[in-house]
Amino acid sequence: MSQATTRLAQLTQLSCKVFSNVYNPTCARTGNKIIRQRLIGSTLTSYNPKKLVHFRDIQALYPQLGLVNLEEKERLDEIARRKRRGKGAPKKGQGKRASNKKK
C-alpha cells in the first residue's frame, strides 16, 4: 500500500511540474491562490477619469496671448452690477452674525 501512495505522490509532483503548479504534499496554506490572481493596479488607476483641460490652465500656460474667459468676465460684471444696486455680498466680518455679536 505504501508503494501506491509514493507512486501517487510522484504522479502529483509530476503533474505539478507539467501544469506549473506548486507541489504541496502537506496541504499547508501558502497563499498561492492570491499570488496567481492577476494584478489590479492598472484597473485601479484607470477607475477615475483623466484630468480635463480647463480654460484657466491654457490661460496660465500662455499669459502672453491675453486670453479672456468670457464666463468669468460675465460673472464679475454681474457682481459689480449687484454691488452698485446695493445687493452684493457684505464684506467679510460684516454680515448678520457679526452685527448680532456687537449688540
C-alpha cell at 68: 479672456
Classify residue 36: in a domain, yes or no: no
Classify residue 64: in a domain, yes or no: yes
**pLDDT of 1 above 60:** no
Span 69-84, average pLDDT:
95
Tell which wins on pLDDT, 47 or 67: 67
- Total tally of structural domains belonging to the chain: 2
Classify residue 35: in a domain, yes or no: no
pLDDT at 46: 84
pLDDT at 101: 67
Classify residue 40: in a domain, yes or no: no
pTM: 0.44
Q: Residue 103: which pLDDT band, with cuts at 50, 70 and 90?
A: low
pLDDT at 62: 94
Classify residue 60: in a domain, yes or no: yes
Classify residue 21: in a domain, yes or no: yes
CB burial of residue 16 (10 Å; 0-12, 13-18, 19+): middle
Classify residue 38: in a domain, yes or no: no
Distance separating alpha carbons of residues 88 and 11, to the nearest angstrom: 85
Classify residue 41: in a domain, yes or no: no
Residue ranges making up the domain that contains 58 = 53-87
Beta carbons within 8 Å of 56's beta carbon, 6+ residues apart: 69
Q: Hey, which bits of 1-102 come out as E strands?
A: none
Mean pLDDT, the chain, as a whole number? 88
